[in-house]
Structure 1
Amino acid sequence: QVHEVMVPRTEVDFMDASLSVGKAIELAVDKAHSRYPVVRGSSDEVVGFIHVRDLLDTSLASKSTKIVELVRSIMFLPGTKGVLPALTEMRLQGQHVAIVLDEYGGTDGIVTLEDLVECLIGDIRDEYDEVESDVAVEVRTGDFEVDGLISIEELTEQTDLEIPDGPYETASGFVMHYLGRIPREHDVVNLNGLRITVLSMEGKRAGQLLISRSS
């Protein structure tokens, strides 16, 4: 569910609607975010979000302009919504960030499109990330211990295991998809004659997995 992968409210950098563009730029300089939720007094009163690009665009506003004039609309998602449905909805609406609501309608946190994608397919590696070759280690005859980030393609090439197609690219994403939630240590997925056990976790994804054929 979305609330399991969100950034909690206490860790979110909000900007108040009363801020000037100049002040907002000063606050954004030391941060690595491209988008900031904009609130009116309280984090439960989110009016939208501001994109850093808009703050720096002198054709849109002067430094004395209030950022509320540049606010873009933002999505609101219930924390109980599933990761895959949330990802689909955000993509359809062209949204990159959403406010996650608690059961009382208050702000519980935020979630980004990248958070949801990484949940389903594993960590996103860019051109600056070191590429490592993931290996399936046969610990016993027919039993393989693998890193959760091994791709389904690599896994099937290195073993003769048959992994069903789905909205995932890694072994970790496969486990999360069939559990329907963030995995936990010792979770087991039994599917199509396969038994997949979560040996360890790396953050919110399965770290090491033991894959074997069900007896």
Structure 2
Amino acid sequence: DPAKEMIVRIDKNNFIVKGDTEIDELEECLNIDLNPNGRYVTVNGLLQHLLGRLPKKGSQARIDDILFTVDEMQGNKPVRISVNRSD
């Protein structure tokens, strides 16, 4: 059931992730180190750090060639985030 999955691969460069997805899981999918000092446990924590504030719908943040876009919020927490890798 895709609705229950933490990471859904759309194609080789595009994913939909839940905000509480662990960074380690996403790093494994993307084969990249997003969290070199290990300070963040979830995608939401990393996003908040990158933005310097609480994310909101439409917020975008980038690490190297990876773009995070907040697609859906539940209260003040992102619950659905697009992750796109540019070629």
TM-score by length of 1: 0.35
State how many pairs are aligned: 83
Q: Deviations over 1:38-84 (max 9, x none)?
A: xxxxxxxxxxxxxxxxxxxxxxxxxxxxxxxxxxxxxxxxxxxxxxx
2:19·2:80 contact (CA, 8 Å) conserved in 1? yes
* Cα drift, residue 184 of structure 1: 0.8
Task: Quote the Cα distance in structure 2 between the aligned partners of 1:147 and 1:161.
Answer: 18
Task: Quote the Cα distance in structure 1 between the aligned partners of 2:29 and 2:15.
Answer: 10
Structure-2 residue corresponding to 1:205: 77
Of 169, 173, 184, 2:41 maps to 169
Of 144, 166, 177, 2:15 maps to 144
- The residue correspondences of 1:1-215 to structure 2 (distance < 5 A) are 134-166=5-37, 167-215=39-87
Q: Which has the larger radius of gyration?
A: 1
* Cα drift, residue 202 of structure 1: 2.0
2:23·2:35 contact (CA, 8 Å) conserved in 1? no
* Cα drift, residue 203 of structure 1: 2.0
* Percent of aligned pairs sharing the same letter: 27
* Cα drift, residue 134 of structure 1: 4.8
Runs of 4+ in 1 over 4 A off after TM superposition: none
* RMSD (CA atoms): 1.9
Greater share of residues in helix: 1
* Cα drift, residue 156 of structure 1: 1.7
Task: Quote the Cα distance in structure 2 between the aligned partners of 1:208 and 1:193.
Answer: 20
Greater share of residues in strand: 2
TM-score by length of 2: 0.80
Q: What 5-or-longer segments of structure 1 have no aligned partner?
A: 1-132
* Cα drift, residue 157 of structure 1: 2.4
Q: What 5-or-longer segments of structure 2 have no aligned partner?
A: none
